[in-house]
Copies of this chain bind each other. A is one copy, B any other.
């Protein structure tokens, strides 16, 4: 059986193997990127869905348009205004999670061999998707202020990339946020070199400290930035609803490409999201999540303070992840099995690097585990690290 060449590039097995281990009873997982199960607005959504279907079942259960339900598009446009982004209806398309927004960017823009630049490290799912469309991925260095603009400029010149992928706020996997100056410079640099920016911003509402910087999209003067938002982290990932905001020529291509994927995002999911966002309950709900996650972040950071000298880590103002680096020479990949045997899991950082390496790094998720699990799991992690030093 001979499959398409594009699949030779992807396996995703490393991560899937990790998630298989999480099924083990009693396992404390810092590996996922899931919202806290106690933070879903269950009762509200149960009531909303019942009411929606009773009142407009014929519409919700029927085929919908590929661009998405216009009421929800209007809600997205309002949310974008609050972020400083002015979008028209034909500059927005509802997607089945921001994940689809990444896939549609690759499908509509990338020819085999096209170069994509991305933060090194970055979101594994995006790397897999770019590889599926046979792109060549080059990593751009980053530090605590996000992507290194000098390295970006160097690689824009060297590779003439078609696309630059970035998660500027509370980045996955590092939790870092790109500074305002760098956002402005990135928009200018990519414009000057004719590279489109894919700005993936699913975490921006999960801020626990510090001041928000405007999206790179707000510095986009020529439709060169595709902005992806998601409702997964603020309402529910299981509903699979996000949106892409971009130049209308790009949105038209997204629309054609989406027809051949899922035709349209499930109407019920779209209507639930729209109703909840306009119910007056969204803001207090997001505030509640942020308080809960801030406390979990602080609990994990408190434990990290007691880790052996030489272990460094990020101090994110929001999002779901802390990024830890062990002293040079230590190996979070080989150490992984020891941790799992001791009952705690993380994702070895090497998987997030387009060019691999960096075996001494790890991604720690603080949103999913309970406070008790965070305390216990971090103590286990600390002791395993100490054993390996």
A interface residues (Cβ-Cβ under 8 A, vs B): 1-7, 10-12, 32, 34-35, 37-38, 40, 42-43, 45-47, 49-54, 57-64, 96-97, 99-100, 102-103, 106-111, 125, 128-129, 132-133, 162, 196, 223, 232, 235-240, 247, 249-250, 253, 256-257, 259-269, 272
Seed contacts A7-B256, A132-B256; 17 additional CB < 8 Å A-B pairs: A4-B107, A7-B108, A32-B63, A40-B58, A59-B238, A61-B238, A62-B236, A99-B260, A99-B263, A100-B261, A100-B262, A238-B266, A238-B267, A238-B268, A240-B266, A261-B261, A268-B268
> Do B3 and A109 touch across chains, with their CB atoms under 8 A apart?
yes
Interchain nearest-CB distance for A383 vs B (Å): 30
Give the most central of A64, A125, A247, A259: most B CB within 10 Å: A259
Partner of A45 from B42, B57, B253, B272 at Cβ < 8 Å: B57
A222 → chain B, closest Cβ, in Å?
9
Are A111 and B269 also in contact (CB < 8 A) when A11-B256, A58-B37 are?
no
- Indicate which residue in B223, B240, B247, B272 contacts A263 across the interface (CB closer than 8 Å): B240
Chain A interface, >50% SS class: helix
- The interface residues of chain B lying within 8 Å CB-to-CB of A51 are 46
Sample of 26 A–B contacts (CB below 8 Å):
A4-B107, A4-B111, A5-B111, A7-B253, A11-B256, A12-B259, A35-B62, A37-B62, A40-B57, A40-B61, A42-B57, A43-B54, A45-B57, A46-B52, A61-B236, A61-B237, A96-B262, A125-B263, A132-B257, A238-B268, A239-B266, A240-B266, A261-B262, A262-B262, A268-B268, A268-B269
